[in-house]
Structure 1
Amino acid sequence: MRYLPHSAADRAHMLDAIGTASVDDLFAAVPKSVLGTFVPDLPDYQPEFAVEAHMRALARRNHAAGDGPFFIGAGAYRHHVPATVDHLIQRSEWLTAYTPYQPEISQGTLQMLFEFQTQVANLTGMDVANASMYDGSTATAEAVLMARRITRRNKVFVSGGLHPQYRDTVVTYLSGEEGLECLSPSPEGQGDIMDRIDTDTAAIVIQTPDFYGHIRDVSALAEAAHAKGALLIVVVTEIISLGLLEAPGALGADIVVAEGQSLGNPLTFGGPYVGLLACREKFVRQMPGRLCGETVDTEGERGFVLTLSTREQHIRREKATSNICTNSGLCALAFSIHLSLLGEKGLSRLARLNHARAIALADALAGTGKVEVLNRSFFNELTVRLPVPAAPVVEALAARGILAGVPVSRLEPGRGDVENLLVLAATELTTDADIAALVEGLNGELA
């Protein structure tokens, strides 16, 4: 590669320093099937306007969430984002701001993060929240590591209702370590965790509303965990549900993690999103990420500081509290602006509207006589059982412009017991016409 400045001698010296015989050895962990040994067959040079025309043609092939009936959820939700949010986050003082390396001169950024933390703590019912993380799945994995540090135990139980991709992220973070037990996913329940808790248990991880849409009362599980000295980690993928449901902190959660995408952040083809993490104050020293605080300067004026930062990974490496060295600042700002525009009453009204739309969806689906709704309780997401495998039905409806949800088999491949299950979400943007189109499409495909 002509742009690399290192000579063969330089590279040999670096390989010798790290104890590696060749450059190929650096990539030994990568499967040979995905290692490219050829130069891609790219087209010849094209003028800029031709490239732009080609890219526009490709873009027109996309079917965006707002182009028709949309019932996809499963951890990422389509909500209305006020134009004010986009306008404010694109102001140059916000759009170009990055993590505060010199926090004392980043008062605007610190104040925003402080207000964001306050909002997250209020939503979750916890004492303290950090200044955001990458997304909900990695926040869940960090919470598991945090619980193991606090309790000095290794055993962790992950409920069957946790989002499969969140579960896989936890497994990846703890790869090769003992003590992690993931209960078998089931649309009927979270798995029998209560009887498994013992004095070696560090934490229980449970999601509510869970992946299948069920609302879980975690208070009894919290009592059982605390009786054995274990911690309860509650996961929320749909943050708007906390405008209607009781906060996890009030139900006994020790650590709450969530995905904040639903507020201020559009779907954007899967990211970037914003992870939320909040905990009891006594655990704050083990909290990953960073924490902004309020203080008074030498002249008695209100000011903000970076109270806690885990950038110790620069010197402690694997012994550090966390290797999360930044935060999703712009996404957190969008979250905070949207929540500020809603206010407490607005969030509650939005949550009730989401629930009402989901009730209308459930009633319409049950009315087909061909679809079994599995949920007794739900917020804005529910699971149905079709009489045939769900994935081909979803593909057929997509061809008709109806995005009919997420087949569970897509996230749980190879499991025959879930191939007929379909997870659907309804939000404030779901109309009666959308529901009618879905029902008509299902009746046609299931005839």
Structure 2
Amino acid sequence: MTHRYLPQTEEDTRQMLDTIGVSSVEELFSDIPKAVRTPDHLPLKRALKEGELVKTFRQFAAKNADSKTYTSFLGAGVYDHYIPSVVDSVISRSEFYTAYTPYQPEISQGELQAIFEFQTMICELTGMDVANSSMYDGPTALAEAAMLAAGQTKRRTLLVSDAVHPQAKEVITTYAKGQYIDVKMIPLTEDGTTDLEALEGLMSDDTAAVIVQYPNFFGRIEPMDRLQKLLENEKALFIASSNPLALGCLTPPGAFGCDIVAGDAQVFGIPQSFGGPHCGYFAVKSKFMRKVPGRLVGQTVDEQGRRGFVLTLQAREQHIRRDKATSNICSNQALNALAASVAMSALGKDGVVELAKQNAQKAYYAKRALLKAGVRVITEQPTFHEFVIELNRPVSEVNDALFEKGIIGGYDLGNVRSEWSHRMLVAVTEQRTKNEIHEFVEQVVAIDGN
């Protein structure tokens, strides 16, 4: 008898038992003492019929609060952006959503070209020479960049701005521990940017890289030109984590001499999905091309001179000797990279610039509205689409009250530092309307007692 979800028949079980020479499943596990075995009958509810199962999971899903039913001002690394409808149409095609690693280029030209286009667009946005075919997410891409720097320079200290995303800092620290690399945090100035004087004091002959986020976790725009001047005579690498959408209106990191730029492409065509999966990107100067983790797709011609695409420079442990590998990352996010490519193509160069400008302008509008209403704005200086406000009550309480009004509030910075429990990181994307912004301001003022 077959089961709908466990298609193993009693005959299948009998054949397997006969093959290994035991008479029953009980005999198979007889060497394991009964005292440590799971009871025969687990306290499980009865199996549901398909209709009941679908209904049950829909009820579970309905308990989620998402940006389709709530007005969201939550960002901190994952954002509510417009996704062109063509994205879902393309990535739902079976030749894309079932594709994994295109090891056979003769039958994978579509997938390979899609990855190649992703690499090209990332290079154009970041101002870098080479980009790989994507990575798991932004934080792991940044950690891989840090490890590349340590391996390239043969130095054992990383200087990381305290304005880098807290989760990215944790991932870097985790990677570094296994490689016996020291991670030191660069403190911040009062305006929420990297303290360059403190950075100068931390620099040494053992510094492998200086890592900043642009725009940083608090929404501030780092002084990249001053960082470039500070590092131009140093052997340490200059690494930036960048929101690629912000680069639609900001000077690209490559123009400031960055050696490596990493980040997350979730902002282009990839749903928030309650935290993932998303799509990291990784771009470098050409001299580091052979050190890039993961894989790259290259453009070539066949025997007839026709354009074609192939996997190239796969400097990972599956393809070369383990001691020569630059990383043990063994996959990419091809489907999400495709979604990002389709979104960027649908928007076009002008569309990406317009989208970026709308984010910056709407955030500025919200910031001014909050200031006018008497709310203290910590980051009055230039920001992209996030800024910090300070409240009279704990952010957790304000957010609970906002939620009752159908609004998802900003990120509680008390999760980063306990003394910041009254500080909220507010994200305003192009999705937010003027009415939604004013409603948010009114509710914050009413709830917080400004």
The alignment's TM-score, normalised by the length of structure 1, stands at 0.88
Segment of structure 1 superposing worse, 179-188 or 429-438: 179-188
- Give unpaired runs (5+ residues) of structure 1: 8-22, 24-35
Once residues 233 and 204 of structure 2 are traced to their aligned partners in structure 1, the CA distance between those partners, rounded to angstroms, is 9
Give 1:19-418 correspondences, 5 Å limit: 41-176=43-178, 177-184=180-187, 188-191=192-195, 192-236=198-242, 238-313=243-318, 316-317=321-322, 320-410=325-415, 412=416, 415-418=417-420
CA contact (8 A) 2:103 2:311 kept: no
Indicate conservation of the 8 Å contact 2:394/2:421, yes or no: yes
| Cα offsets for 1:234-258 (capped at 9, x unmatched) | 001x321010000000011110001
Residue in structure 2 matched with residue 19 of structure 1 by the alignment: none
- Is the partner of 1:117 in helix, strand or coil? helix
Deviates most, 121-130 or 185-194? 185-194
Match of 1:20 in 2: none
Measured in 2, the distance between the counterparts of 1:309 and 1:260 equals 22
> Which residue type is aligned with residue 282 of structure 2?
L
Separation in 2, partners of 1:316, 1:329: 25
Q: In 1, distance between residues paired with 2:430 and 2:376?
A: 23
Q: Secondary structure at the match of 1:335?
A: helix
* Distance in 1 between residues matched to 2:122 and 2:53, nearest whole Å: 44
TM-score of the pair, normalised by structure 2: 0.87
8 Å Cα contact 1:194-1:221 kept in structure 2? no
Structure 1 equivalent of residue 23 of structure 2: none
Q: Secondary structure at the residue paired with 1:235?
A: strand
Secondary structure at the aligned position of 1:309 is classed as coil
Whole-Å Cα distance in 2 between the matches of residues 313 and 230 of structure 1? 29
In the TM superposition, what is the alpha-carbon distance from 1:138 to its structure 2 partner? Answer: 0.3
Shift of 1:68: 2.5
Deviation at 1:169, TM superposition (A): 0.8
Distance 2:129 2:369 in 1: 41
Are the equivalent residues in 2 in contact too, given 1:222–1:251 (CA < 8 A)?
yes
- For the residue of structure 2 that corresponds to 1:131, the secondary structure is coil
Unaligned runs of 5+ in 2: 1-7, 21-31
Tell me whether 186-195 or 339-348 shows the greater mean CA deviation.
Answer: 186-195
Greater alpha carbon shift after TM alignment, 433-442 vs 272-281: 433-442
Alignment CA distance shift 1:422-1:397 (3 Å): same
* Bigger mean CA offset, 49-58 vs 332-341: 49-58
CA contact (8 A) 1:365 1:373 kept: no
Counterpart residue type for residue 108 of structure 1: G
**Distance across 2 between alignment mates of 1:198 and 1:112:** 42
Q: 1:399 Cα shift? A: 2.4
- Which one-letter code corresponds to 1:163 in the other structure? H
Structure 1 distance, partners of 2:173, 2:95, is 39
Bigger shift: residues 112-121 or 436-445: 436-445
Of the structure 1 ranges 392-401 and 345-354, higher mean CA displacement relative to structure 2 is found in: 392-401
Deviation at 1:136, TM superposition (A): 0.3
Aligned partner letter, 2:398: V
Structure 1 pair 40–280 and aligned structure 2 pair: CA distance change class (3 A): farther
Backbone CA RMSD of aligned residues: 2.5
Counterpart residue identity of residue 207, structure 2: T
Q: Deviations over 1:261-304 (max 9, x none)?
A: 01011111111101010000001111101111111111211111
Tell me, in whole angstroms, the C-alpha distance in 2 between the residues paired with 1:268 and 1:40: 32
Q: Which moved more, 1:65-74 or 1:162-171?
A: 65-74
Paired residues in the alignment total: 417
Q: Residue 101 of structure 1: CA displacement?
A: 2.2
Most deviating of 373-382 and 83-92: 373-382
Match of 2:389, as an amino acid?
Answer: V
The runs of at least 4 consecutive aligned structure 1 residues that moved more than 3 Å come to 2-7, 36-41, 183-187, 313-319
- Answer yes or no: is the 8 Å Cα contact 1:144–1:156 preserved in 2: yes
8 Å Cα contact 2:293-2:316 kept in structure 1: no
Query: Alignment partner of 1:202: what SS?
Result: strand
Preserved contact between residue 313 and residue 319 of structure 1 (Cα < 8 Å)? no
Question: Which whole-Å CA distance do the structure 2 matches of 1:113 and 1:315 have between them?
Answer: 22
Measured after TM superposition, the shift of residue 46 of structure 1 is: 2.4
The structure-2 alpha-carbon separation of the partners of 1:71 and 1:210, relative to structure 1 and needing over 3 Å to count, comes to same
Secondary structure, counterpart of 2:68 in structure 1? helix
CA contact (8 A) 2:413 2:424 kept: yes
